[in-house]
Amino acid sequence: MNILILGSGGREHALAWAVKQNPKCDRLIVAPGNAGIAAHAECADLDILDGDAVVQFAVDNAVDFIIVGPEAPLAAGVADRCRAAGLSVFGPSAEAARLEASKAFTKEICDAAKAPTAAYARFTDATAARAYVTAQGAPIVVKADGLAAGKGVIVAMTLPEALAAVDDMFSGEFGDAGAEVVIEDFMEGEEASFFVLVDGETVLPIGTAQDHKRVGDGDTGPNTGGMGAYSPAPVLTPDIAERALAQIIRPTMAAMARRGTPYQGVLYAGLMIKDGAPRLVEYNARFGDPECQVLMLRLGAQALDLMQACAEGRLDEMRVSWADDHAITVVMAAAGYPGAYEKGTKIRGLDDLPENSRNITFHAGTREKDGMILANGGRVLNVTARGATLQEARDRAYAMVDSIDWPEGFCRRDIGWRAL
């Protein structure tokens, strides 16, 4: 089969690597891709937010299956456009992807599903929001309603921080995404990510992970898109996972189906766990990045069969087969990230790294020039390894990190500390 993956990050490199392991895959195209993806797939220059362009490209290239990586094309309706053209696509409709694209919508659905989550209020003007925050006090969580590239959620530990977040959102810092603001109670506990596939009806768990959002060791410094992740997440025990399915995920999916917008694709539930009880922090309508990297290393070739069954409404026939092992990914980022950083710095030593089913360096922001790999973004490499234990996987990943020669890059040295 001919497969098209949309996206250009470490998540899409991991998806491409897993898909390529499956003998069903004849031709693999990733649009737009990156320098690492180019080792497994053809990279194509395509505007992935333009549904008509994606459909035309898929028809011209006899694509049998499309996998949508990031949230922006989902929110733009690219999966709808592909389905309407009779193409097989993995990814929710724009209406279903509102579970990520609108925080207020998610809260409405959680109300309808009676899913445990934080109490909240919604605002469309700063004065009322400021008064509410002042009355509630800190800590408190301020969320821009719409997509804000991972920057629209502020966990404010003090009242001045919370008021500043409200002002920033209503001052247009997040564009239309901040036109409405959701303010939630702060939830205590340990956060973990639960990934399930949903084909509109059947919900199939495919794994758990935890990421490290802060830039610095010891979970310090500003938030990032994620500086590393590991799977499984020990805090999400089988019992808690079952409770999350029964109390949160299945009722939400049933509520989506009832309103005529059934969900099809991967659903990423961010959960807060305290005293054995899970509560919903947020939904995402895509794989996490870098959580996808650890999930794909553990799932391997079956990932394609699972995504296809999901797109075709056959998840009830599927079982996930897990090796009883652990995977970890360490993000290497450009100095300065998540603030300003330099592009174009040279990365050496990648050719000497092992690449097999236990060790692989996924590329996020890279490009190739004259045979040299150059940094081309904030998060640049995802050094990923598997092991019989998390410690073994971690030792292997950091040994790879240490053999990469990139003076302008950095990483956290404590990925996985919570589980170890």
- List interacting residues with ligand GLY (CB under 6 A): 150, 211, 225-226, 284, 288-289, 291
Query: Which is closer to ligand GLY, CB of 81 or CB of 363?
Result: 363
- The pair of structure tokens assigned to 72 is 């922006």
Q: Is the peptide bond before 338 cis (omega within 30 degrees of 0)?
A: yes
Q: Which is nearer to ligand GLY, 80 or 211 (CB)?
A: 211
> Between residues 210 and 252, which has the closer beta carbon with respect to ligand GLY?
210
Comparing CB distances to ligand GLY, the nearer of 180 and 289 is: 289
Closest approach of ligand GLY to the CB of residue 12, in Å? 12
| Distance between CA atoms of residues 284 and 293, nearest Å | 16
With CA atoms as reference, report the closest residue to 233 among 212, 204, 210, 213.
210
Q: Which is nearer to ligand GLY, 153 or 350 (CB)?
A: 153
Would you say 107 or 379 has its CB closer to ligand GLY?
A: 379
Please state, in angstroms and as integers, the Cα–Cα distance from residue 195 to each residue in 95, 130, 202, 280, following that order: 20, 35, 14, 13
The rounded distance, in Å, linking the Cα atoms of 346 and 405 is 9
> Least distance (Å) from ligand GLY to the CB of residue 284?
5
Q: Tell which phi-psi region holds residue 202, choosing left (phi > 0), alpha (psi between -120 and 50) or beta.
A: beta
- Taking the least distance from each CB to ligand GLY, the nearer of 163 and 266 is 266
For tokens 């004259």, the residue is: 370
| Least separation in angstroms between CB 227 and ligand GLY | 9
- Do 282 and 270 contact (CB within 8 A), yes or no? yes
Q: Residue 171 corresponds to which amino acid?
A: S
**Residues belonging to the chain:** 420
Instruction: Please state the closest distance from residue 282 (CB atom) to ligand GLY, in A.
Output: 8
* Minimum distance from residue 100 beta carbon to ligand GLY (Å): 9
| Closest distance to ligand GLY from the beta carbon of 11 (Å) | 8
Contacts of 262 (CB under 8 A, 6+ apart): 96, 200, 201, 253, 256
Query: Please, what is the minimum distance in Å from the beta carbon of residue 381 to ligand GLY?
Result: 16
Taking the chain, what is the end-to-end CA distance rounded to the nearest angstrom?
A: 41
